[in-house]
């Protein structure tokens, strides 16, 4: 398992948080914590890559900041 934190641009409210949570839940991560401006996800790196979670966040309508 690996834990990755993503900095997210454009989130401003709990509606934004719920939107990101809904997209990330489709990937069924082991653990997930979403707050305004960031998401922390623990997942099996043999099943998913960082790119999968970035794509899910972008599908929710937000941009992941490069770190």
Query: What domains appear along the chain, each with residue ranges and CATH number?
Result: 2-64 (3.30.70.100)
Q: Where are the beta strands (DSSP E) in 1-67?
A: 2-9, 31-35, 38-43, 63-64
| Position 66 confidence tier, pLDDT thresholds 50, 70, 90 | confident
Quote the pLDDT of residue 2: 95
The mean per-residue pLDDT over the stretch 50-66 comes to: 94
| Position 67 confidence tier, pLDDT thresholds 50, 70, 90 | low
Task: Please state, in angstroms and rounded to a whole number, the distance separating the CA atoms of residues 65 and 63.
Answer: 6
Task: Please state, in angstroms and rounded to a whole number, the distance separating the CA atoms of residues 67 and 27.
Answer: 22
Render pLDDT for 1-57 as a digit per residue (tens, 0 to 9): 999 999 999 999 999 999 999 999 999 999 999 999 999 999 999 999 999 999 999
């Amino acid at each position: 398992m690996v834990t990755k934190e993503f900095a997210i641009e454009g989130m401003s409210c709990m509606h934004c948080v719920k939107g990101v949570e809904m997209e990330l839940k489709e990937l069924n991560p082991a653990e997930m914590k979403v707050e305004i401006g960031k998401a922390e996800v623990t997942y099996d790196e043999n099943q998913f890559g960082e790119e999968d979670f970035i794509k899910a966040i972008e599908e929710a309508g937000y941009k992941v900041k490069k770190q």
